[in-house]
Every structure is written in C-alpha cells, then in structure tokens.
Amino acid sequence: MKTLTVIGAGISGLTCAIYAQRAGFKTTILEKAGGPGGVSTSWKRKGYTFEGGIHWLIGSRPGLPLHDVWTDTGALGTNNPVFYKDPVYTLIDGDTVLELPRSAKKMQKVLGTFSPRDKAALAVLRFHIWCFTFFHTPILDLGGLKVRHPRRFSLPEFLKMGPAVLLTPYLMSISAGRYIKRFRNPHVRRLLETVVDPKINALSLIYTLSTFDDGDGGYPEGGSLRMSRNMADTFTALGGQIRYHTPAIGVRETPEGICVLTENGSIASDAVVISSDARTAIDKLFPEPLETRWARRLRSKLRTAQCMFVAIGVRADLSGFPRCMQIVLERYCDTFEGSYMSEWMPWHFNANAPIRFRPGIFFTGQRTAFSGGLPVAAETGRRTAQILCKSFGMVF
C-alpha cells in the first residue's frame, strides 16, 4: 500500500487527503493547529458563534460541479443545511437604508428606483452579470487517469461559458473600484464596494454578483468549523489519520522515501503533499530556501489579501480592564504575510507553485492556482489527488 503524508488540515489538505485515502493511499495528515480548517475557521464562546471564515460558499447550490466536491468530501451534509441570505448586503447611512438583493433583476429594480440616474449603468451591470450565469468553476479529470466516476463536460456546457470568456479580458483590465465609479449615486457606490475589495479586478465583482444571482454562494449552518470537522470526520471514517499539534518542520528526500521532520521524529512515506502555504514552505521546509524559477517568481509576484477580524460579545462592565490588551492568537496558520488568499489585481498574474514539484513531493492549495478562496482549495486538492493517482498508477 502506498503511503502519503499531507502537511496541513486546511480545506485543500483535507480535500486531497480524502480523495487520496479513498483511492487507496494510507494517508496521514500533520496539522500544527489543534483542529481542522486552516484559515477557514469559526469558534464558539459562551453561546456565541464567531465566524472567521466563510462569507459565502461557492458551489453550495446543488447541481454545480463544485457542489459534488463538497458532498464527496462530506463538507456539506445533513448537519449543515445551507442558508441563503437575501439581501446579501445592507447599507445603513443615517436614515438611508439601501439593500443589495441576490437577484440581478431585483437589484436593477431596487437600485434603479433609489437612483434613477444610474439606470443605464445598472442595465450594463445586469448584462455583465448575465454573461457569467453559466460560468462555473470546472471540475475535470486528468487525461489518461483511470477514474471510477468520470466527470462529463459537454460541448454545450462549454459553449454557454462563451459570453463570460469574451468579457473576461475587459473585466480583468480594470479594478472593481474603477468599474463602480460609473455609478453616480454615492450610496450605490458604497453598497457595491462592500461586495469585494475595490482594489482587485472587476472580474471578481461580476463573478461574485453572478454567483448570488445564480442562487449559489450560501452559508452552511455551523459555519466553517462544522464544515471542516465534517471533512475531517469523512477522512478518519475512511481510515485516515490526523495528528493535530504536529507542525512539519522540514521535508527531505531520503533513500527510505520522502521524510517529513517533526519535533518528535520523522515520518517517511512514498509521497508528501504540502498544503500549508507554499510561499512559506519554499523558505522554511527544505534544507535551503528553494531557488527554482517558479519559487523566485512566487517571491516577487505574489500579492496577498489580509483582513483584520474583530468580534466582541460584551455584557459586562469592562472599566477595570487595561485599555490596551495583547491577546494571544487562537490559531496561526503560518501563511505568508498572514494572508488568507492571493489577490487578483487588474492585469496582474500571481505566480503559482507547481502541484508536482519533484518525484514524491507535491504542493496543493491556495498558492497553486488563481486566485484563491475555498473553490481553489477544493479544486486543487482534488486535482492533486488525481496527479498522485496518476503518478503511482492508481485508480482515482
């Protein structure tokens, strides 16, 4: 039986490990934190749930290709039905309350009534959203791989993506902020600016709005934590092993196989998948920082997205507490610059790490494909498991 060690129990590591274990690998996950999920996490304190991860889950709607990955891996199941909030955002500015409905048709009507001088720009926005209606993260099979349940991708499905493909160069060339500037009403602008970071490209804005319009992008009950725990449970039920509080401190190629060094010794296996941030791994996990062409590009080209998340539930007199407190982080995933994904700026292509690096050493996750988020984690995790199967002559 082939053995596999996966570094990291984030969404990409779990996805890859589940598919690999199911294909017949004896898989162990090493995770530095005390639980699964990586940067996609939530936690409970005194009856409150603090959601530090998912805002909306692409592929939460049944029928979409990515939905199959979420159900294959147990991420979505009977214990976490998906909730679709509508309106998706509400802007409150004094007495002004402006809502962003999910449906593009309703959005055009609501915002057009609120700001009649933006009617033309809203018609263009609705058309752009329509162009992306049939554009979905494709989940495909590797050529030449034996697959138990092959995926079908028909020509009509491909052709339906035509309008999105034609519009993509334009939307990639401008920032979301610049796209939004065409709206004259400041409240309409502010509302649209809440959807994505105005600095990133307009493609992300239109894709996100089309996701909502399509009835996708819901929030699974129990949040990020229940979803990642579901995945961890699927993996262990298949016979996989997860070792929490076990950071990998090195990866070495040895005659016994690929060795992952930990503080309590080393683990040799036929293959290793690095699902922890590849940008961090290239400097820390190998005997010397990697100096391959792609590693140099990753260092110089990567643009990362950060956010500061503060959640406070208070029902007490805190006047006796110090004004400034240093609070130890609950979870530190060692991502580069503390980022939660790569950022896709206008006309900027981040460099990626290759999935197959050297015989037996693979990368997966958020730095191995554009642009980031849970869809990339799930898609690259599955693709890495397929590449592993192909490398070892196994059936996926």
Ligand X SMILES: Cc1cc2nc3c(=O)[nH]c(=O)nc-3n(C[C@H](O)[C@H](O)[C@H](O)COP(=O)(O)OP(=O)(O)OC[C@H]3O[C@@H](n4cnc5c(N)ncnc54)[C@H](O)[C@@H]3O)c2cc1C
Contacts of ligand X in 193-232 (CB under 6 A): none
Work out which of 2, 4, 5, 12 binds ligand X, going by CB under 6 A.
Answer: 12
Angstrom distance (rounded) from CA 26 to CA 286? 24
Q: Which stretch binds ligand X (CB under 6 A): 47-55, 72-80, 137-145, 180-188?
A: 47-55
In the beta sheet, which residues pair with residue 29?
A: 6, 242
Among 55-63, 84-92, 171-179, 352-360, the segment contacting ligand X (CB under 6 A): 55-63
- Pick from 334, 338, 351, 391 the residue near ligand X by CB under 6 A: 334
Least distance CB 95 / ligand X (angstroms): 30
Q: Which segment (17-25, 141-149, 160-168, 270-278) binds ligand X by CB under 6 A?
A: 270-278
175 vs 224 by CB, closer to ligand X: 224
Q: Considering the complex, state which of residue 171 and residue 273 has its C-beta at the smaller distance from ligand X.
A: 273
Binding residue (CB under 6 A) for ligand X from 307, 337, 358, 395: 307
CB of 109 to ligand X, least distance (A): 26
Secondary structure of 57-112 in the HEC alphabet?
ECCCCCCCHHHHHHHHCCCCCCCCCEECCCCCEEEEECCEEEEECCCHHHHHHHHH
Query: Which residue's CB is nearer to ligand X, number 39 or number 267?
Result: 39
- How many C-beta atoms surround the C-beta of residue 311 within 10 A? 12
Residue partners of 301: CB distance under 8 A and separation at least 6: 348, 349, 350, 351
When the beta carbons of 9 and 298 are compared against ligand X, the nearer one is 9
Among 10, 74, 112, 346, binds ligand X (CB under 6 A): 10
**What is the length of the chain?**
396
DSSP one-letter string for 15-36 = HHHHHHHHHT-EEEEE-SSSSS
Separation CA 291–CA 212 (nearest Å)? 42
Candidate list 247, 257, 338, 354; residue touching ligand X; CB under 6 A: 247
74 binds ligand X (CB under 6 A): no
DSSP 265: E
Stretch that binds ligand X, among 144-152, 191-199, 288-296, 330-338 (CB under 6 A): 330-338
Q: What is the DSSP string of 270-334?
A: SEEEE-S-HHHHHHHTSSS---SHHHHHHHHH--EE----------S--TTS-SS-----S----
Cβ proximity to ligand X: between 107 and 248 the closer is 248
Out of 213, 277, 343, 379, name the contact with ligand X by CB under 6 A. 277
Between CA 37 and CA 51 the distance in angstroms is 12
Query: What is the CA 244 to chain-centroid distance, rounded?
Result: 21
The gap from C-alpha 85 to its chain's centroid, in whole angstroms, comes to 20
Residue among 27, 210, 335, 350 that touches ligand X (CB under 6 A): 335
Cα 377 from Cα 366, distance rounded (Å): 6
Residue nearer to ligand X on the CB measure, 101 or 365? 365
Residue 133 DSSP symbol: T
Does 53 sit near ligand X (CB under 6 A)?
A: yes
> How big is the site for ligand X, counted in residues (CB under 6 A)?
39
Phi-psi region of 67 (alpha: psi -120 to 50; beta: other; left: phi over 0): alpha
- Determine which residue in the list 4, 20, 23, 30 makes contact with ligand X, applying CB under 6 A: 30
Q: Does 346 bind ligand X (CB under 6 A)?
A: no
C-alpha 299/C-alpha 291 separation (Å) is 10
Whether the Cβ atoms of residue 249 and residue 263 lie closer than 8 Å to each other: yes
Does the protein bind ligand X through residue 7 (CB under 6 A)? yes
Binding window for ligand X (CB under 6 A); candidates: 49-57, 310-318, 354-362, 383-391? 49-57
* Residue numbers 352-381 binding ligand X by CB under 6 A: 365-366, 372-375, 377
The footprint of ligand X (CB under 6 A) covers 7-13, 30-33, 38-40, 52-56, 58, 247-248, 275-277, 307, 309, 333-335, 340-341, 365-366, 372-375, 377
